[in-house]
Structures are given as structure tokens and as C-alpha cells.
Amino acid sequence: MVSLRRPFLRNFRGSDAHCLPEAALWSQMRSRLGLQDQREAHMATRKDLLKAQAFTSRRMIASFINRDPDDPTPPLRRVGMASFVSLMIAIIMVAGYTLIGLLRPGSNPGWKTGGVVISDTQAGALFIYHEGQDMLQPVADVATARLLAGGLDAAGMPRTTNVKTDALVGMKQADMRGIPGAPRQLPDAANMSGYPIKMCSTAPNNNSERFVTLEFRAETPASDNFAFVAEHSDNSRYLIFNGKKHRLWDLPERNALMSSGLPAVAVGNAWIAAIPEGVPIAPLQIDAPKSDNNKFLSGMARADVARTRNADDAGQRQYFTQTEEGLVRISYLDAEALLLLHHNGDTNAVRQLDPSDMAKFRNAPDRRTPGLPWDEPRGPSKEASLRDVSVCATWLSADDEVPVLSYGDKTPDFDRSLYKINAGNTFDIIQMAPLTGALLRNSQAQSDTPVTFLVTNGRKYAIPDQASRAALGYKDVQPVAVPGGFLAQIPEGLPERSSLSNSSITIIRPDAPTRER
């Protein structure tokens, strides 16, 4: 064979053929003849490489799991088959229970348990099960159901279980119990409203009547704080500023009124009652003997009023009066009350002190009424009168003991022909979405007082203790602190001396008067 190859190769040798190895000569020959190496013609593609990797991985897994790399059975076939069979069994069981529930409704075996509210979903009735007597206790409302199921030491809201009427057939039932006036439904704790709380006196209608409205989670105030005079139906007048009301000392028989420069609005008795109480504004008690006239300052007598420019602010004035101590500093409102008492409100009776006079009394003692500002309260910045716009007070957060005053705010829409103006006992409109509520407490009560008030459907319901509150589902709801006068303007939902508690639950018979338990 060697003798045959070498003559053929001799035709492809060049001048340097003597230095080329035989393999190189064969390569040169194939190149000139247009031939390719068989290995080059069959290069592995990416698909071939992926198949090879899968094959190698499968053999490796089979080696670890089955101890046989050549086992043709997939290693995870048993696991997959077991999972599929388990899923099919679960589906069959669920379908079976569903079919049983359709054929035999009301077969819940866990409803005979104490401390659980039982709801008959077909009849819409509520029950409590007495384990010791094997008896059902019908209840008239959900509040009674939760209170009885929770007990006197409830730590939370009891569970509710649903049954069909057929499951209750043959069960002995006691007399129905309930709380007269209790709401048939209670708002969920997640739907309890809070701040901002806005109380408004609406803009007057065509009959010049205003309505007092109350909103929870209302919009923030539309204007800045200001001062005005609120007129009560009994002809008393209140200066409203800094979120408090201050009863004014007036002399109507003399036709002399305090703060006559501020707008006066009949906002409604309920609006006035809900505002936190401030100190009344009345003349300072000053004995007025004539013996010390001109004693401290020439031309000044007891209870006379004087004023001077504020050394720190030329736009502000400082007011003084003469007492047995001499000249003392008072507030603008104190000065106005003294002028009304002794000079019928005549501002011309105020003496203007010059710098030489003030040099003697630069350190005059402070005798103003506690709680009153030094300066004159300012009215609305834009409106000369509040008679044609709404006037509102808004509690913004738990940190605010007093509300922010505003005017011109949007008030709830309602058909005013359906409501009658209240004379001061309650709010006219309490806007709340159905099945929502609020949990309130009296901010003037002691901090450890457990009494709270559920407000829903425009009425309030007292909750006297923490256990009752927990049973009703409001253990974790933070009560909103409001003034006592505010609470008094919300209509009562329960009879007098009644509350959402076990002590107020009574026997209810359709054919007999309600009697206590």
C-alpha cells in the first residue's frame, strides 16, 4: 500500500516537498481536490450539546437515586405519580363534601359550643347555646348576642358560626333576650371613623334658618382661625376664638354689647354647646372708693381704664386700670368689660398714657383674667360678615383639645324640608355612611374612665366597661376624645340608664311588656 501512495503523492509535492511530513502532504492534497475532513463536516450543533447535557444529567440523577445510570425509568416518576394521585383524591373529597352539604344542609357539627354566636342563615335569627341546659337562647340583636357569648369577662369578640334551620329542629329554646333600642347591626372595627371631626352651622336657607351638621373623617378647614360672636336663642352671646367659647357680660337694658366690632351669627344652640368652655368675660371685681382718686396717677380713679402703645409692637396697645394696688395691667377684653360697666362702653373714657406716665408703671403687675389674650381678638380676614356663609369648627387630631374655626366650608347635602331645626338639644344632621361608626369618649372625664360611646346611624350608645367593648368587637379601636357638650348633642339610641352591656339585657316577649332580667 505504501508503494501505491507515494507515486500519487509525488504529483503534489512542490520544491519544498522534501521537508513536509506525509500528513501535511495529504492535507494539501485534500485542499486542492476540494475535500473536507469528515470530522469537520459533522461539527456538533447547540441542539446536540443540549441533548448531550440532558443525557448526562439524567444518567447522573439515576446514579444517585436508583444506583443505576442505565435505568430507563425516569427518576422522579414515582414522586410525580404520587402527587397527581394525592391531588385527585383531594378533589374527589372536596366534591364529596360539597355534594353532602347540598343534600344535607345545616349539618355543621360544631355549633353546639358555649361562647359562640349561632347565626341561622335561612331565618336570619341569632342564638346562644347554653351547654349545661342543652338549650338555645334566642337574641333580638347582634349586640346582645356578642355580650352574652362573651360573658362578663370577655377578652375579645366571640366567634360566629353559621347553621341552617334544619340543624336547630327539636332544640329547646328559652325566652328571647335583647337590649331595647340596640342597633340591629354593628359596624365592623375596620369601619370606625375618626378625625377630622367637623361641626358646621350651614349657610342660612331662604327662611334664614341654619342647620347644625356633624361629619366624621371630614375635609380639612378651608380658612384660617378667627374670632366672632355666637348668638344663643336665649339672647346670651359668646365670644368664639382660639377654639373656645367665652360668655360675654352684656347690658342689654342699656343697649350696650361687648365685642360689637366682631360679626355676630346665630350659629345654633347645639353648635355653641359643643364648643369647649372658656372663662366668662366679665368686669374685674374692683372696689371703687373715692379716697384714692389721683393718688397713683393724676386724673385716674378706681376702675378707670388707660392705654398706651406697646413698646415692642406699635400696632398693639397695652391696657391698664387703677386698683388699690395702683396701676395694673389688664387685657383688652377686661378693659372692654370695665368700660361697659362704668362708662356704658364709651371708648372716649379711655385715657391715653404718655411715656412719662408709663415710666412710673413700667413694671405694673398683671391682673388680667386668666385664659384671656392680651390683645383684641381679630375677626375674619376676608369677609366683613359671616351671615351668608357656613361657620365650622374642626377637631383635627387627638393632640388638639380645641377645634380650628373656619368659614365658607362645604357642608353635607340633604333635603332641608325633611328636617326640623332643633332648639339646642341635638345636632340636626349627623353624616355617616351605612354600617360605619365612631367610638367617642368624654375628654373632660378622668383618663382611666372606661366609658365610651358608639356612634352609628346618627345615634350614640353607651358602652360602660372594657369587657363589653371587647365583646362588641372594639377592643383595639382608639376612642376619639370630644367635649362633654359635644357628646350631649348626639341623640341617644337607648333608653335612660341603659347601655350596651350585660346588665341592660332584658327578656323580650312580643305579647308582653319588657321586664328586667
* 510: preceding bond cis by omega (within 30 degrees): no
Between CA 146 and CA 157 the distance in angstroms is 7
| CA angle centred on 208, ends 205 and 209, rounded to 5° | 75
What 8-state DSSP symbol labels residue 337? H
Among 207-221, 264-278, 420-434, 480-494, the least confident range: 420-434
What are the grid coordinates assigned to 342, written together?
A: 362704668
Q: What is the pLDDT of residues 81-122, one digit of tens each?
A: 788 888 899 999 888 877 766 666 555 566 788 889 999 888
Choose among 335, 387, 54: nearest CA to 231. Answer: 387
Q: Which SS3 state, helix, strand or coil, does residue 327 take?
A: strand
Average confidence (pLDDT) over 388-416? 87
Residue 18: CB atoms within 10 A of its CB come to 7
Is the pLDDT assigned to residue 268 strictly greater than 80?
yes
Q: What is the pLDDT of residues 299-342, one digit of tens each?
A: 777 888 888 866 555 556 888 888 887 788 899 999 998 888 88
Is the pLDDT assigned to residue 281 strictly greater than 80?
yes
Between CA 308 and CA 355 the distance in angstroms is 8
Percentage above 70 pLDDT, the chain: 76
More confident residue, 224 or 505: 505
What are the grid coordinates assigned to 282, written together?
A: 366679665
Strand partners for 135: 130
Residue 422: CB atoms within 10 A of its CB come to 16
Among 307-316, 462-471, 504-513, the least confident range: 307-316
pLDDT for 438 = 94
Q: What is the pLDDT of residues 21-36, one digit of tens each?
A: 555 555 555 555 555 5
Between CA 475 and CA 155 the distance in angstroms is 8
DSSP sequence for 407-446? ES-------GGG----SSSS-SEEE--TT-EEEEEETTS-
Which residue ranges form the domains of the chain, and what is each CATH number?
Answer: 2-41 (no CATH), 116-182+503-516 (3.30.2390.20)
